[in-house]
Amino acid sequence: MSKKRKEIRQQQRKAWDAEKGRRKKLRHNTAANQEKHRVDWQPLVPDEEGQIADQRIMPLDERDRREAVTEQATAVLQTELDDATWQNMADETPFLLGKVVEVSRGLCRAEVNGDTIVCDVRGTLIAEGTGYTNILAVGDRVLVQPLSGRRGLVERVLPRRSGLARSDAYDVHLKQIIAANVDQLMVVAAWLEPKIWLQMVDEYLIGAQRNGLKTAVCLNKIDLAKQVNEVETAAAPYRKLGIPVFLTSAAEGAGIEPVRDFLRDKSTVLAGLSGVGKSTLLNAVQPGLQLRTSAVSNLKSREGRHTTTQAVMVPLAMGGSVIDTPGIKDMGLHGLHPDDLLDFYPELAGVVGQCRFSDCTHAHEPGCVVKEAVDNGCIAQWRYDNYVNLFDILAEDS
């Protein structure tokens, strides 16, 4: 190796050693690792408030556009609307008012003047600029132009008063609207077959709360529990937070009446993994619906089979409606900052910040008030574990 080449290598080594401490400090931050390889990430330098920027550098007009479409989606959902208002909107046009009860690609079924007809969606209706990745969702009120052969054409989607949406996995500034103009969400989970997944229940609840919807939890198939006390123990933390929890055995018709009371005269989204018994529960709530059901798979995990393949609105004779959704495994986390997760765990938020060390990770440090609250039974162990797991997931994605 030449003398000049050796000097260059020594200079590179000194520069590497000088940066070593800085690299080690930033190693935990995903964005920091990306900074080393991509020039379009902002330097991770704390600002005056000690915050580290982790947003990609983008043209100012592009950032403004993304913020605008997010505000557009939020503004629509803040509008006070009811059936009379939507009808007045339709009366000012040559079209009829329709309510979307099922959506497929380029098509939908809409309830118009008491009849359900198949409608095409006008090609000029696009989601761009709305803040959403899809233009239409079950529950939407639309303006329909009647066509021959009991068909129709959706000319316009009317403003929404509420909605259940989740952030897109790739463009987190956009959302996928799952159901529109709804009042509440009920999470359905099976105690067994498939085994209850409380972390997923938490995710559903977070998704509903981020959308401003009232929530409830239905623990189904409790007849499979060895002891009812097991189910009651699982339900206690939610009830302590004021979230209604219904214990049912839909197949045996047990515990159905409280569910009916919750659904009556409301527009409710039913969410849960496949196989937890959502369709069976609806059949028990309103006998005669005859929604298709199926047994869980023969796999060792006893996973559910998809019987509901897309969201569909089911009217209830007692008043109200239910939007039955297919099993959704990713509901509430995309676009949520790790530090904001604590807002959805109030039992932890009440004690965080009281630990002996200000930088306590609530994992192994002495004098951790959070761990003490878990050990004393003030915070359920599984709720604490869910919080830690979800925080780690969000931290990796941020």
Write down the residue that tokens 């600002």 correspond to: 47
CA proximity to 131, closest of 179, 182, 213, 76: 76
* 49 has pLDDT over 60: no
> Which H or E run includes 4?
helix 3-25
Query: According to the model, what pLDDT value does residue 16 have?
Result: 63
Query: According to the model, what pLDDT value does residue 28 have?
Result: 35
What digits encode the pLDDT tens for the residues 325-379? 876 666 767 778 888 998 999 999 888 888 888 878 777 788 889 889 999 999 9
CA gap 110, 103 in Å, rounded: 9
Helix (H, G, I), strand (E, B) or coil at 246: strand
Q: Are 13 and 5 in contact (CB under 8 A)?
A: no
CA proximity to 215, closest of 320, 307, 344: 344
* 46 has pLDDT over 60: no
* 35 has pLDDT over 60: no
Query: According to the model, what pLDDT value does residue 292 have?
Result: 62
Tokens of 353: 């910040």
Mean pLDDT within 81-93: 94
Among the ranges given (16-25, 256-265, 318-327, 384-393), the one the predictor scored with the smallest mean pLDDT: 16-25
Determine what percent of the chain is predicted with pLDDT higher than 70: 74
- Mean model confidence pLDDT for the chain: 80
* 21 has pLDDT over 70: no
In order, the DSSP letters of 107-160 are: EEEEEETTEEEEEEE-TT---TTTTBS-S--BT-EEEEEEETTTEEEEEEEPPP
Record the pTM: 0.75
Query: According to the model, what pLDDT value does residue 105 have?
Result: 82
Domains and CATH numbers, the chain: 19-57 (no CATH), 58-180 (2.40.50.140), 182-324 (3.40.50.300), 338-397 (1.10.40.50)
pLDDT class for 12, splitting at 50, 70, 90?
A: low
User: Of 35-39, 47-51, 296-300, 334-338, where does the model show the most confidence?
Assistant: 334-338
Query: According to the model, what pLDDT value does residue 267 have?
Result: 96
Mean pLDDT within 229-244: 94
* 229 has pLDDT over 70: yes
What digits encode the pLDDT tens for the residues 135-182? 999 999 999 999 988 899 999 999 999 998 887 777 777 888 899 999
Mean pLDDT within 231-255: 94
What digits encode the pLDDT tens for the residues 248-272? 999 899 999 999 999 999 999 999 8
| DSSP β-bridge partners for residue 138 | 179
Mean pLDDT within 49-75: 51
Query: According to the model, what pLDDT value does residue 265 have?
Result: 96
Which has the higher per-residue pLDDT, 77 or 354?
354
* 298 has pLDDT over 50: no
* 303 has pLDDT over 50: no
Which has the higher per-residue pLDDT, 273 or 111?
111
